[in-house]
Every structure is written in C-alpha cells, then in structure tokens.
Amino acid sequence: MENRKLTPKQQAFADYYIETGNATQSALKAGYSKNTARSIGAENLTKPNIKHYIDERMKEIASKRIMGATEALELLTSIARGEIVEEVVVSTFDGVDKVEKIPDIRDRQRAAEEILKRYTVSDADKLREDMLKAQIDKIRTETQRLKGDKKDTSMLDALVEGRKQYEQMMKERENNE
C-alpha cells in the first residue's frame, strides 16, 4: 500500500466522493477540468492512497453514526421498560393533535425478546424473570394510577393476573428441577 499523502485536490476529491458517492461530480467540485472529470474521477478511485483515505474516513463515519451493540441493547431495554415515549398524531373533533405514547405491550414484549436472544439460557431465564417483575411493578403502578382516574383497568388487571400465573409456573418449574 502506498503511504503517500494526498494532494489538496485529491483530498478534496475524496471528501466530496464520501459526501456524494459520485466520482465525476466529486472531481468537478475538487477543481478538475470538465473534460477530464469523468476519467480522473474513475482513476482516482483506483489509486491506493486515495482508496485507503476514503475507506478510513468511511470507517470513522460509520463508527460515529452507526449504532453499536451496546447502544442497541440500551435502546431495546428502554423500549422494554416503557421509558421511551414517541409522539403520535391522533384525530380529534378539532382536527389532529400530537400526543406522547409509551410503547404498547406488544412493542415492549418484542424488545424484551430481542434482548433475551443475546443471552445464554440461564442468563435469559434470570433476565426474563427480572424483566417480568419490573413489568409487573410498572403495571401495578399504572393500574393504581388509572384506578384513581376511574378508568377501565380490566386489561391491566388481566396482565397482572397473567404475571401471577407465570410466577406460579416458574416456581413449579424450579421445584420440578
């Protein structure tokens, strides 16, 4: 690999190429002649020092802009816990309104499943149990809040009951092992 430094024109070409993905346009923006921009652009992409510069810059950009595994797991965890709210548009009698909405049970469950895929079976069982306990606590809190508002809580009551049944099943499973 050639370890030569790029000329200012070559560096400009490479930077524009990273931005646009078009060799001819990049050559023109870098100051190459309109008559030779197409051939110079293609030629520059074959030069090892320019190609290396572009590859390195793309890696830098990717590491800054593309989510890593830790960040992805943190996002999934926030969704599973219902900590992230999204703004949704709902229709009202007056037109439309924007409201904040926490992830619904299905989204939270999917996030939890995606997290659990990344752990071994024993870790997954413990993590699943911890997450379900946290979800039960959150549902109980939400149920109490909603009961205070005199709203229908039958769905939340059913979820709490389902959690109780799950806990019983897990205890029976532990006793059988």
CATH fold for domain 8-65: Arc Repressor Mutant, subunit A (1.10.10)
**Domain definitions of the chain by residue range:** 8-65, 67-103, 119-177
Give the model's confidence band at 69: pLDDT under 50 very low, under 70 low, under 90 confident, else very high. confident
Q: Which residues contact 143 (CB under 8 A, 6 or more apart)?
A: 153, 156, 157, 160
Q: Residue 2 pLDDT more than 60?
A: no
> What is the Cα–Cα distance from 141 to 102, expressed in whole angstroms?
15
Of the two residues 81 and 173, the one the predictor is more confident about is: 81
DSSP H helical ranges for the chain:
8-20, 23-30, 37-44, 48-65, 69-80, 105-116, 121-148, 154-176
Of the two residues 127 and 120, the one the predictor is more confident about is: 127
State the average pLDDT for the chain: 82
- Give strand pairing partners of 92: 95
